[in-house]
Amino acid sequence: MKKVKILTGVFMAMVLNSFAQTTTPTPQWRPVYHFSPPTNWTNDPNGLIFLNGEFQLYYQHNPFENKWGHMSWGHATSKDLVHWHNLPLAIPEKVTKDTIVSIFSGCAVLDKNNSSGFGIHGKAPLVAIYTADMPKQHKESQFVAYSNDGGLTFKQYANNPVIDLDKSDFRDPNVFWYEPTKQWIMTVSMVNEHMVWIYGSKNLKEWTKLSDFGPAGFTANGWECPSMLPLVVDNNAAKIKWVLFVSSGGGHGPLIQYFVGDFDGTTFKNDNPGDKILTVDYGDAFYAAIAWRNAPGNRKIWLGWLQNGRSETFPWKGQMAIPRDLSFKTTADGIRLLQPPSTIISNRLPKVAGKYLLSEKDVQVDNKAISLTKSGSFKSNANWIDAEFKLNDSKNAGFNIVEKKDANGKVIKKVVVGYDAGKQELYIDCSGAEKENKPADNLVLSAPMKPVNGVVRIQVLLDKSSLEVIGNGGEKVISTMIYPDTDATGMSVFADGAATLRSLKIWEMSNTL
C-alpha cells in the first residue's frame, strides 16, 4: 500500500497529480477486458484467493471519492478473469471519535482446519490479514478479520492487532500455509529499513518472528507489498525455486523487483549477489502485484495495479493489469521469471473476443507500414495482438497503434510498439502522442530482449488506456498507461528493412463486456 510520503522525484509528481479529480466522464478510456471499479478510486489488489469456483478480488478502494483516501476493501469475483461481478464493500474504513483505522493492503486465506477458531458450523472461515493504518497515532499494525459467509462480510478479531511494533511504516502482510512445518507464514514489509520480516503462526492470531531478508537489490525507495511463493522451473514440477517480490518506487515510477532462492520454512536464501536487481516490469505503471496461490491446475496467477499517471478518468480511477501466469525459466543469465498472460484468458480468446479475428502468416513487411484497420475492424482501441517477426535484415519492426490522421490521411499521432534489432530491445515509444501525459524520461520505455533463432514474439494488449507489451512469451513485460484521442484508433504493422511477419493474430476485444 503506497503512502505518499515515501515517494520521490517523478513518481511523486505523477501520484500527487493522480489524487486530483475531474467530473467529466471519460468512457473512451474505460478498460473492457481489465478490471476497474464501477466508480471511484482503486489501487492495490488484496486478498486474492480462488474460492467456490470463483476468483476473489479484494482491492484498495475509496468508496466515497475518485481519489486516494478512506481506504477500504472493495470486492469483485470472476470465473474467467475477464468478466467481473461487483459486490458490496467487504471491509470498510473504521472511524470513531478517537481514531481512524484505514484498511490498507493484505491477503486472505482459507483456514481449512479452523486453526484460528473463527469457523462456525464445521465450515472453514476465510481470514483476512491486513495492515491497519492509524494516521492520528502515526502507526501501522497488522490486523485480522474473518468471514463465515464466503468472504462477503468480515468481522474484526476482538484482540487486534496481532502484530504491533509501534511503527509508522510497517505494512502489507502476505500469508500462506507451509505444510512441512504445519504453520502459517507471513511476509511483511519494514518499509524504510528495506527489509522483509518473516513471521510464523499456528493459529493466525499469535505470531513469532522467524527471520528477515534485506536490504538487497534496489533500495533507493521504501519496500512494500512483499510476497513469497514457490514456482516451477522449466515446466518441471519436480524442480521448484522460491521467489520473493518487493514493490518500490523506481526510476520510471513504480518498480517491482524479485529475488530467486530457497525457503526452508524459516529463512529465505537469495541465490544471487545482494546487489543484483531483477526487474519484473520495465514500464511505468505496474505495481503492488500479488498472486492467486491456489488457482486451478496449481497455477500461480499474478495480478497488479496499473497506476494512472497524469490523465484523469471519471467516474473511476485505477485499474488492474492483465493476470499473468508465473513460473521460472533457466536462461544463460540464470533462473529468470516468466510471466505471460494467464492461459485462463489466452486459451479462451476466440470465445471471449467473439467473431472479430485477423489471422495472417508469412507476410513480408519491407520498409513500409501496412494498415490493419482498412476494413473498419479493430478500431475500438481494445485489441489483443500476438505476432512473431522473423527479423531478417530489419533494424526495427512492430506496430503503430492509436494512430490519429489529419484531413489528408497523414498520421499525426501514434504510439509505437516494437523491437529494435540493433539495441536488442523491446520498446514502447509514446513520444508521438503522450508528451502532455508523461515526463520526458518515460516517453520511451524499453526492456533488453534477445531474438530466438532470429525471431521475436510480441504480444500487445491494448485496452482503451492501458498498454501491456509482452516479449517472447513472458520473458519481458512493459506496462504503461496512454490516453488516446477519441479519433485515434488506427493501427498498422511496420518494418525498417526486410522482415517477415511469420504469424499474426489480432482479436477485437470490445465485445467482452
Q: What is the pLDDT of residue 8?
A: 38
Cis check: omega of the bond before 315, within 30 degrees of 0: yes
Task: Assess whether 393 carries a catalytic annotation.
Answer: no
Choose the catalytic residue: 44, 172, 281, 429.
44
Only one residue has cell 482479436, namely 507
Final residue of a structural domain among 344, 373, 399: 344
- Claim to verify: residue 237 and residue 295 sit in the same structural domain: yes
Quick one: 143 and 24 in the same domain?
Answer: yes
Whether residue 310 is found in the same domain as residue 367? no
Residues 336 and 386 in one domain: no
Q: How does DSSP classify residue 81?
A: S
Query: Last residue of some domain: 344, 375, 394?
Result: 344
Mean pLDDT split into 10-residue runs, the chain, 513 residues: 48 48 89 97 98 97 97 98 98 94 98 98 97 96 98 98 98 98 98 98 98 97 98 97 95 92 98 98 98 96 92 93 98 97 95 83 94 84 97 96 96 98 98 95 97 97 98 98 96 96 95 71
Structural domain for 368, as ranges? 356-508
Beta strands in 344-489 (DSSP E): 357-371, 382-390, 396-405, 411-420, 425-429, 444-448, 455-463, 466-471, 476-481
The C-alpha atoms of residue 70 and residue 301 are separated, in whole angstroms, by: 28
> Does 403 map to a domain?
yes
**Residue 369 is part of a domain; what is its CATH number?**
2.60.120.560
Query: For residue 493, is it within any domain?
Result: yes
- E strand map for 39-84: 40-51, 54-61, 72-78
Q: Which residue type is seen at 139?
A: K
pLDDT of the residue at 297? 92
Q: Assess if residue 108 is contained within a domain.
A: yes
- Do 340 and 361 lie in one domain? The reply is no
Q: Which residues pair with 390 in a beta bridge?
A: 455, 500
Burial 287-301 (b: 16+ CB within 10 A, else e): bbbbbbbbbeeebbb
303 and 166 in a common domain: yes
Do 326 and 408 fall within a single domain?
no
> Would you state the pLDDT for residue 3?
59
Are residues 381 and 283 both part of a single domain? no
In a domain, 350, yes or no: no
Q: DSSP characters for 224-293? A: EEEEEEEEEETTEEEEEEEEEEEEEEETTEEEEEEEEEEE-SS-EEESS-TT---BS--SSSEEEEEEEE
Residue 349 belongs to some domain of the structure = no
Q: What SS3 string covers 410-438?
A: CEEEEEEEEEECCCCEEEEECCCCCCCCC
Does 74 share its domain with 104?
yes
The whole-number pLDDT of residue 513 equals 58
- The residue out of 277, 309, 344 marking a domain boundary is 344
Residues 260 and 309 in one domain: yes
